[in-house]
Structure 1
Amino acid sequence: MSTTGPTRPDPGPTSGFESVLDALDAERRARRAVMSTSADRAARTVREQVVEGRLRSGTRLPEERLAAAIGVSRNTLREALSQLVAERILVREAHRGVVVATPDADDVRDLYAVRLVLEPGALEHGTAATPAAVARVRDSVAEGYAAADRGDHAGIGDANQHFHRAVVSLAGSPRLDAQMDLLLAEMRLVFHRMGDPEAFHAPYLADNDRICGLLEAGERGAAAHHLADYLARARDHLLGELPA
C-alpha cells in the first residue's frame, strides 16, 4: 500500500466557495424542487460542506448567492447562519460578514475533551452495534485504504471522518449523531490549519483497522481503550503542529 502520490491542489477559500455554490445549485436542480424553507435543513447543508472539507476556514459566505444555491430565502439562510455561528462553525467579522471559523489550540483541547468521552463510550457501551452498523465502520476503513492506494490524501481524510461518525452511530442516539456532526465540522477546520492536513490522517489508518477488528471480535472494551489512546495521540499531534 502506498500513501504517496499526487494530492489535490488547494483551491483556496474563494475558488472553493465557487465550487460549493456550483455543487449545491446542481443538487437543487437535480431534485427539481426548491428545498424546504427550514433553517435547520439549510444549516445542515452548510455544515455538511464543512464536514466534507469543501468550505474552508476564512471563506466568506455571501448571503444572496448562498441562499439561491441552496434554494431558500435570505431570511431562512440568515437564521441558519446564526445557528452555525452559535455552533462555532461560522463567525461574524466586521466588514466581511459571515465567514467560516478558524479554530485555535484551545478549541482543539476542548474538542478532544468531548471526543474522549463520546467516542470510546459509544464504542464500548453503544446499544446499536448491529451487524449493519459494524459493517459501516468496516466500510470506512476500506474506504481509507482504497484512498491511500490511489494516493488520495484528501480521500483518506474523508474516510477518517466517516470512521468516527460510524463509531458514534453505534450508540443509536440521534442526539449524539447530531453532536458528532458538529464536532466533525470543527475538526475539519482544525485539519485545514495543518501544513499537510490530508497526510495527517494516513498514520491512523492502521489504528482504525485495529479498532474495527476488535469491535468485530466482540472485544468492545479493548477497542474503546485503543480508541482513547489514539485520540489522545491525535490531539497531541495536532497541538504540536498547529500554527501559532
Structure 2
Amino acid sequence: MAEQLAGLADDRALLGRTSTAERVSDILRSRIAEGFFPPGTRLSEDSIGGALGVSRNTLREAFRLLTHERLLVHELNRGVFVRVLTAEDVQDIYRTRALVECAVVRGLGEPPYALEGLTEAVAQGRRAVAQDDWKALGTANIRFHRGLVALAGSPRTDELMRGVFAELRLAFHVVDDPRQLHEPYLARNEEILRALESGDRDGAERLLAVYLADSLERVADAYGRRADVV
C-alpha cells in the first residue's frame, strides 16, 4: 500500500481550498486508471484520507461515487476494494467503446482535426516502449483513445468514457504479458492518427473498428485462460 500511496500527497494540492468528494473521486479514478490501485486492492480510509488530507466522511462519499461508477465495491465487514471485472464486464466495456469511439470518428466534420492530444499520446507510447515500461504504454494507449473521444467536443461523452476507460484499465491487469497486449496497438494508433491527419475519416473508422475487435479478442482470451486456471 505504501507504494500505491506514493504521490497522493502531491495530488493533495489539487484539492485546493474547496475540498470535495468529487475532487477526491477524480484523483482516485485517475490513480485506478493509471494502474496504481490494481483490482482487488483494499483501499484504506486512514491511509488515503491521511495522504490527501481529507475527512473520513469526504472520503466515504468519494468511495460511494466510485462504487456507483463500478470501479469500487463495498464488502460488508471487510471494507472497500477496487473491483475485479468479469468476462461479461469486459464484453460490455468493448461494446460501449465500439459504439462511442466509432461514432465519434464517423461524426467528425471536415478536416483538419485537432489531433494534438493524439500526437502526444503516440509520442508517450514511443517513449514508454524505449524504456520497456509496459504499464506506461498501457496508460499512453488509453490516453490516445480518450483523446479520440475528445474530438467530439462533448463534455458528457468525455465523462461517460472516463469511467469506461478506468474500468478498461482494471481489465488489463489480468493479462499475463502486458507487452504482448499493448505493444502491437501503438503502431495501430499511429495508423489511425495518420488516417485522420490525411482527412480520411472513413479509413480511420475502419481501422478503429478492427482494432477494437482484435483488442477484445486478446483481453477475452486472457480472461478465459484465467478461468481455466481457477
Match of 1:55 among 13, 37, 60: 37
Could you list the runs of 5+ residues in structure 1 that have no partner in the other structure? 1-16
1:116 corresponds to: 98
User: How far 1:127 moved relative to its partner?
Assistant: 5.7
Q: TM-score, length-normalised on structure 2?
A: 0.91
In 2, Cα distance between the equivalents of 1:198 and 1:117?
A: 27
In 2, Cα distance between the equivalents of 1:168 and 1:129?
A: 16
Please give the secondary structure, in 1, of the residue aligned with 2:176. Answer: coil
1:228 aligns with 2:209: yes
User: How far 1:130 moved relative to its partner?
Assistant: 6.3
User: How far 1:232 moved relative to its partner?
Assistant: 0.8
Please give the secondary structure, in 2, of the residue aligned with 1:91. Answer: strand
Please give the secondary structure, in 1, of the residue aligned with 2:42. Answer: coil
User: How far 1:128 moved relative to its partner?
Assistant: 10
Match of 2:123 among 116, 127, 142: 142
The one-letter amino acid paired with 1:205 is: L
> Do the aligned partners of 2:15 and 2:23 also contact (CA within 8 Å) in 1?
no
The one-letter amino acid paired with 1:115 is: R
2:170 corresponds to: 189
Within 5 Å, which residues of 2 pair with 1:33-182? 36-126=18-108, 131=113, 133-182=114-163
Deviation digits for residues 154-204 of structure 1 (CA, Å, limit 9, x no counterpart): 221111011111100000011111111101111111001111234310011
1:3 corresponds to: none
In 1, Cα distance between the equivalents of 2:73 and 2:205?
A: 34
> Do the aligned partners of 1:24 and 1:70 also contact (CA within 8 Å) in 2?
yes
> Do the aligned partners of 2:192 and 2:207 also contact (CA within 8 Å) in 1?
yes
In 2, Cα distance between the equivalents of 1:35 and 1:109?
A: 41
Of 55-64 and 68-77, the range deviating more from structure 2 = 68-77
In 2, Cα distance between the equivalents of 1:199 and 1:148?
A: 12
User: How far 1:235 moved relative to its partner?
Assistant: 0.5
In 1, Cα distance between the equivalents of 2:105 and 2:14?
A: 40
User: How far 1:117 moved relative to its partner?
Assistant: 0.7
The one-letter amino acid paired with 1:154 is: K
In 2, Cα distance between the equivalents of 1:167 and 1:193?
A: 25
> Do the aligned partners of 2:112 and 2:199 also contact (CA within 8 Å) in 1?
no
Match of 2:11 among 19, 27, 46: 27
> Do the aligned partners of 1:36 and 1:72 also contact (CA within 8 Å) in 2?
no
In 2, Cα distance between the equivalents of 1:135 and 1:76?
A: 36
In 1, Cα distance between the equivalents of 2:75 and 2:146?
A: 31
Distance 1:105 1:149, change over 3 A: same
The one-letter amino acid paired with 1:19 is: E
In 2, Cα distance between the equivalents of 1:32 and 1:63?
A: 19
User: How far 1:211 moved relative to its partner?
Assistant: 0.3
Number of aligned residue pairs: 225
In 1, Cα distance between the equivalents of 2:36 and 2:179?
A: 13
In 1, Cα distance between the equivalents of 2:110 and 2:68?
A: 30
In 2, Cα distance between the equivalents of 1:83 and 1:36?
A: 18
Distance 1:235 1:66, change over 3 A: same
